[in-house]
Amino acid sequence: MKFKVVLVALLVIIPFASSYAQKTVFSREYPRMMTSVRAMGMGNAFFGVSNDKYAAFYNPAGLAMNKSVWSLDLIPLSIGANSNMVSNATELGSMFLSGGGLDTDTIVNTLNGMMGQYNNLSPISFFPAFTYKNWSFGIFFNSYANILTYNKVMPTVSAKVHADAGAVLTYAHSFLSDKSLHIGVSLMGFYRMAYNTTYTAVDIANIDTNSLVSNILENSGWGILASVGIMYELPWLRKELNARVGLSFNDFGYQSMASGLDKVEPTLNLSLAISPNWEFISSNVVIDFNDLLFINGYDDSFGKRVNIGAEIGFWNRIFLRTGLHQGYWTAGAGLNIWLLRINYAYYTEELGAYAGQYADHRHVIEVVIGWDQLKKQPNNRLID
């Protein structure tokens, strides 16, 4: 009798404990609206550079240092995944997209093979944009999926699917006689959808893909947000190092979200950067302090908010990148060939409450088809 009581207690406690653990893992990841693949290769230390269309999501003032007269990213697609998702993608896809085509025993065996694993698919993003001098306008779609398998007694999957779609306009201008002070602003409107639930093996065997899509569409919201930023090039270090300091206040405004849907929190971000250039070689070295007011995310770990990165480019065609993101090493590379631009990044995301607790290794690649008309750069200075 005592054994039966203990067994029943374990059957009740284990699923609740596992559920709490998976919710903790899902909630600890630092939330972002959009992420630049170039930036992730640099440890996501980009608030002191942000001289492309991603200025809208980092520091809008960086667009004033854009090196193009105009550019058009016509077909820009990014896709990323963690190591577990790369290994389990086929099995997970067959389970959730089969529409009840698999038997329960097959699903149980599959889930047992990935027990305790955190599977992440992010980002899947599409961000076409047109930039002309200090202006940039783009439309974006960004989504991710997190899947965690737990509870050996009754194999269960917790799934969180999230998607944003919207448009963003950015403008930046240079001030002072030497144009060393840059100020920028961005305005963004977006629509958000999400779905967060758990499935047993029986649920997955009887899943209805049509109802799944309907549930995602029902849990939605929208928002209109603005970001402002400044960037100041230090006069005594400008010629040799192009040293600068940046400050931005991102994502403040109005949001209307369904119950349980995550809102975009505002952040205050500080950055220090240098960008020395030599003939055909360009470089950036950046250190960022993100969310100085500890508003974003679900913890107050300072280590998760410090990023350091470096980038070196050759002939504006080949780029190598590295950095430290939340205390973990990152690496990246870029290649520009006529109408084609490819960026790759390897990085680690901290899922725990503090840097160094729960590392999740990820890969992401971006492929862009578009046009870019560069400014001339005599004496390594941009023509305004």
Give the domain range for residue 149: 2-380
Residue 23's H or E segment, with its range, is helix 2-28
Backbone angles phi, psi at 262, to 5 degrees: -65, 135
Give the chain's domain count. 1
Q: Would you tell me the crossing angle of helices 83-97 and 209-218 to the nearest 10 degrees?
A: 110
**Which of the residue ranges 46-60, 91-105, 144-158, 311-325 would you say has the lowest mean pLDDT?**
91-105
Where is pLDDT greater, at 38 or 238? 38
Least confident of 88-97, 208-217, 218-227, 324-333: 208-217
Q: Do 133 and 69 form a contact (C-beta atoms < 8 A)? A: yes
CA angle 291–368–30, rounded 5-degree value: 20
How many angstroms separate the Cα of 54 from the Cα of each of 39, 80, 284, 309? 9, 17, 16, 16
Please provide the DSSP assignment of 50-116 as one string: --SGGGGGS-GGGGGG--EEEEEEEEEEEEEEEHHHHHHHHHHHHHHHSSS-S-HHHHHHHHHHTTT
Mean pLDDT of the chain: 85
Residue 207 — pLDDT band, cuts 50, 70, 90?
Answer: confident
Instruction: Considering only residues 76 and 358, tell me which one the structure prediction assigns the higher pLDDT.
Output: 76
* 251-285 residue pLDDT tens: 999 999 988 788 899 999 999 999 999 889 999 99
Mean pLDDT, rounded, for 71-79: 95
pLDDT exceeds 80 at position 305: yes
CATH of the domain at 343: 2.40.160.40
Q: Which residues contact 87 (CB under 8 A, 6 or more apart)?
A: none
Q: How far apart are CA 291 and CA 29, in angstroms?
A: 14
The pLDDT-based confidence of 90 (bands split at 50, 70, 90) is: confident
Weakest-pLDDT range from 18-32, 69-83, 103-117, 200-214: 18-32
Residue entry with tokens 């409450």: 353
